[in-house]
Amino acid sequence: MKPVIALVGRPNVGKSTLFNRLTKSRDAIVADYAGLTRDRHYGEGHLSGREYIVIDTGGFEPDCTSGIFKEMAKQTRQAVAEADAVIFVVDMRAGLSAQDHDIAKYLRGANKKVLLAANKAEGMQESPLLAEFYELGIGEPIPVSSAHGQGIRSLLEAALDGFFLDEEEDELDEEDPDRPIRLAVAGRPNVGKSTLINAWLGEERLVAFDMPGTTRDAIKVPFEREGRRFELIDTAGLRRKGKVFEAIEKFSVVKTLQAISDANVVLLLIDATQGVSDQDAHIAGYVLESGRAVVVAINKWDAVDSYQREMLQRSIETRLAFLKFAPVLHISAIKRQGLGPLWKAISDAWASATCKMSTPVLTRLLQEAVQFQQPKLAGAYRPKLRYAHQGGQNPPVIIIHGNSLEHVSESYKRFLETRFRAHFKLVGTPLRIEMKKSSNPFNEKS
């Protein structure tokens, strides 16, 4: 499971700049749920093959009791609770402030791994100004410059230290052909995830039991249906009855991102009475980026009339247009309607995601596609697509070899994808096509 790093600090110390540096992107996932303001961003990053999730928070004032700063402080506390490591960002040029001491006091009692990043330290790595930050009692300050990228790698390595000890075990688990299919149920709060889970667990042919949660409170429920083993990764947070949590605690974007990353198949649940929201589109986009197989289920279908159904269908076609490959099913979890076809769609998506494609068949399909429609000329040259082979599963990856492949257009790649999909009957899974240019062995010779 990907470790989570939260960025905490008072306003204007450079947290967002550091966030951009750690994620190498501004494509943050933003939650539009009530109580989560828009300055709380979630993004992904990687360092030497190690992936992680970063949370960017607003300016933190722990003792604020009113107004927008109270809400921002609430969000920051939630980010700290979700995090595996916290990077406390301070402004080296501005020096210490009373607010820094308040934040340090809160973090010392949070029982989290905390690193102190002295930002805006370009050209000041050996400055005696670093010494004053030892007062915070957080540990040795690490001088960094988010704007210029100085010291970022050392900071990240310190934050990620100790979180990838089980990598070899995970790789062995991936190679196990008898491992269960990991299924994540994702969606906004109150769309019926818990109702659907309970409907599944209540079936006679279903064998289920609860496993202890991990340190990140991820709940996994193994079960079996018609001889096939599944492992449900619950993003709703299965809780014992009688325990009441605030809505913000039940809805954790981090848990959703981690569940999607750990899953083989993602079931995106949408509330028919509310339509497709920004949050649904964000989650769907993350599923696509992660390369996971996906099935879309419209819950509470029995609760909407014909006009609402038509509008919902149009909303799906426009807002989730990038998931055209995903099957869309209409269900009612509370009435247990449509659950049989839903299971078939999940199994078909998994079969497509793990489909094995032979090199001769792929090459023949590629040559037939080129004969039907050649790629466009690029200047005086036309890209030559010679042969193809499979480069991975879940998602399936097809690698095409040839010459001048950098000139192959995105529209032509989509044309090839359509033909590959049709032949192998791929449903519910992204398909990635990579172009690999053939090298000239004589280029290195004089």
| Residue 25 amino acid letter | S
Instruction: Give me the pLDDT at residue 266, please.
Output: 94
**Per-residue model confidence (pLDDT) at position 212:** 43
Q: With beta carbons less than 8 A apart as the criterion, state whether 110 and 82 touch.
A: no
Of 80, 150, 85, nearest to 119 by C-alpha is 150
What pLDDT does residue 342 have?
Answer: 94
Strand order of the β-sheet with 293-299 is: 207-208, 219-225, 228-234, 181-186, 265-271, 293-299, 328-330
**Residue 151 DSSP class:** T
Q: Which domains does the chain have, with CATH numbers?
A: 4-160 (3.40.50.300), 168-353 (3.40.50.300), 359-437 (3.30.300.20)
Residue 417: its pLDDT value, please?
A: 93
Question: What pLDDT sits at residue 227?
Answer: 82
Annotate 127-160 with b (16+ C-beta within 10 A) or e (fewer). Answer: eebbeebeebebeebbbbbbeeebbbeebbebbb
- At residue 67, the pLDDT reads 57
- Give 106-147 pLDDT, tens digit per residue: 999 888 999 999 998 887 777 778 888 999 999 899 999 988
- By CB neighbour count within 10 A (0-12 exposed, 13-18 middle, 19+ buried), where does 77 fall? middle
Q: What is the pLDDT, as a whole number, of residue 71?
A: 67
Q: Which two tokens stand for residue 35?
A: 């109580």
Ranges of residues in the chain with a pLDDT under 70 are 25-40, 62-71, 164-178, 203-219, 236-252, 438-446
